[in-house]
Amino acid sequence: MSSDCKALQEKIIKLKKERKALILAHNYQIIEIQEIADYVGDSLQLARKSAESRGYDMIIFAGVRFMAEMAAVLSPTVPVYIPDPGALCPLAAYIDAESVRKKKEEYPDTPVVVYVNTTADTKTETDVICTSGSAVEVVESLGADTVLFGPDANLAEYVRRHTDVNIIDIDSRGRCYVHNMFDLSMLLELKEKYPDAVAIAHPECPIEVQEAADMVGSTGMMAKTVAESDAKMFIIATEMGMVHQLQKQHPDKTIIPLYEGAICRQMKKHTLEKILDVLENLPEANLVKVPEYSAPHIRGVLERMNKVKGQGPAKAVSAES
């Protein structure tokens, strides 16, 4: 790490104490940001942390915008700032409130489940939200024959294969471009090269990658599995920030990325300089606002998801197999 970077980190740490700022960073952030964060996790873990922000005067959320919006909903009295307001998730952009409304007209009386990777506006049109780990159980909890689902068609396909429910994509083109970089041949090659490695794929990966992996789950589940498993080697099919973090936390284990080019450009828009700017200047443009009408609905659909049993991995086998 350069001395400039270290100096910047020290400045941020000092100022965040003075400002009583809580810094939350997603697993895909660069290590330098993860190091100055109070908490690092997946989108749901960070949303839950933001709900525990009593005693802080501000939250700085280093993740994409829909995540910061969730924090703003769950922490209505503490202002939430995003270091780069242009950090938007392209997967979330595949559907919006209008496209959900249109789909509901096409399929009246059909419940709508959306993945947490959606804007606040889109969530306002849904019956319940889900995470990658809870999607199957959330869909089944509705007791419906047919469910409208979006925006991730890869996750939708996973749910389709693991339930008897008819899953209709709100937009069948919806994909995370980062996880869609992975393909089956990459995984088979690494599995052949490292036969003892446990392969863990994120549910946003193409379905054939998920099916060839030993486990499927969110970044939070990956962190837990690597920490608790006796296995010494893991093939990780998700964004590189997570790979770096796992390797740093577990120097005794070998973390192999499925593809080193899997980098989310939107997550990487945040920098230490931008975090410092928020702390120094509290720019209005970086303040995350959620329409007042949508916040109670979002809290309701989140609560509905939380009531559904099980937030674990979508598919799991023992580390020995």
Residue 24 in contact with residue 36, Cβ under 8 Å? no
Backbone angles phi, psi at 238, to 5 degrees: -160, -170
Among 46, 59, 135, 267, binds ligand SF4 (CB under 6 A): 267
Which C-beta is closer to ligand SF4: that of 8 or that of 239?
A: 239
74 to 103: interface string for ligand SF4, x by CB under 6 A: ---------------xxx------------
* Prior bond of 206 cis (ω within 30°): no
Backbone angles phi, psi at 114, to 5 degrees: -120, 150
DSSP code string of 231-275: -SEEEEES-HHHHHHHHHH-TTSEEEES-TT---TTGGG--HHHH
Token pair of 270, please? 């945040």
How buried is residue 54: exposed, middle or buried, by Cβ count under 10 Å (0-12/13-18/19+)? Answer: exposed
116 binds ligand SF4 (CB under 6 A): no
Q: How far is the CB of 234 from ligand SF4 (least distance, A)?
A: 19
Among 27, 29, 117, 225, binds ligand SF4 (CB under 6 A): 117
Which C-beta is closer to ligand SF4: that of 118 or that of 247?
A: 118
Beta bridge pairs of residue 41? 26
Closest CA to 68 of 267, 220, 264, 221: 267
Q: How far is the CB of 266 from ligand SF4 (least distance, A)?
A: 5
Among 266, 286, 294, 311, binds ligand SF4 (CB under 6 A): 266
Cα-based distances in Å from 69 to 191, 288, 299? 38, 6, 12
Which C-beta is closer to ligand SF4: that of 122 or that of 266?
A: 266
Report d(CA 216, CA 310) in Å as an integer.
15
Beta bridge pairs of residue 215? 200
9 sits in which H/E element = helix 3-19
276 binds ligand SF4 (CB under 6 A): no
Residue 112 in contact with residue 142, Cβ under 8 Å? no
69 binds ligand SF4 (CB under 6 A): no
204 to 243: interface string for ligand SF4, x by CB under 6 A: x----------------------------------x----
155 binds ligand SF4 (CB under 6 A): no
Which C-beta is closer to ligand SF4: that of 128 or that of 178?
A: 178
Among 82, 113, 264, 305, binds ligand SF4 (CB under 6 A): 264
26 to 65: interface string for ligand SF4, x by CB under 6 A: --------------------------------------x-
Q: How far is the CB of 98 from ligand SF4 (least distance, A)?
A: 20
Which C-beta is closer to ligand SF4: that of 202 or that of 315?
A: 202
Binding-site size for ligand SF4 (CB under 6 A) equals 13
176 binds ligand SF4 (CB under 6 A): yes
SS3 assignment, position 303: helix
199 binds ligand SF4 (CB under 6 A): no
Residue 194 in contact with residue 243, Cβ under 8 Å? no
Among 170, 178, 258, 279, binds ligand SF4 (CB under 6 A): 178
- The footprint of ligand SF4 (CB under 6 A) covers 64, 89-91, 117, 176-178, 204, 239, 264, 266-267
